[in-house]
Amino acid sequence: MKTSIKSILKITGIPVLVASLYCLTPVIIVLFGLGSVSIATSLADTLYGTYAWAFRIAGLVLLALSIIWYLRREKGICTIDEAKRRRNEVLNVVGVVLTAGVVGYFVWLYVVVEYAGKWLSIWN
């Protein structure tokens, strides 16, 4: 059984979004007109400087829960004995999903959100 690209995106999408909320929130505030650029800049400084690790840890916890959910629901690995029997499959899924999550996080945060913030003049 192969893990498809669609499954990997389904597993990693929400955790990557949650982990990057500390930089995404100011962009959303400006895009939806909920505040000015100066408010968004101040919020970005506060969130990035003080709470960035909290968002990253929350994203990592959600990623772990997503892996568990995927293995239980999609792959039918519900017990420890089943996980031991299918150890290679579990390790492959965990390795691929963690790699995709980290790469997705860096691409999303440091490419997409970074350029959106620069385009909106939130940060230089």
Number of Cα atoms under 13 Å in the Cβ half of residue 55? 21
pTM > 0.75: yes or no: yes
Write out the two tokens for 85.
Answer: 């029997």
Mean pLDDT of the chain: 89
Number of helical (H) and strand (E) elements in the chain, helices listed first: 7, 0
For 12-47, write each residue's pLDDT tens digit: 999 999 999 888 899 999 999 998 888 888 888 888
Look at residue 2 in the predicted model and tell me its pLDDT.
66
For 73-116, write each residue's pLDDT tens digit: 888 888 889 889 999 999 998 999 999 999 999 999 889 988 98
Cα–Cα nearest to 97, from 14, 20, 18: 14
Distance of CA 92 to the CA centre of its chain: 19
Q: How far apart are CA 73 and CA 32, in angstroms?
A: 36
Look at residue 3 in the predicted model and tell me its pLDDT.
66
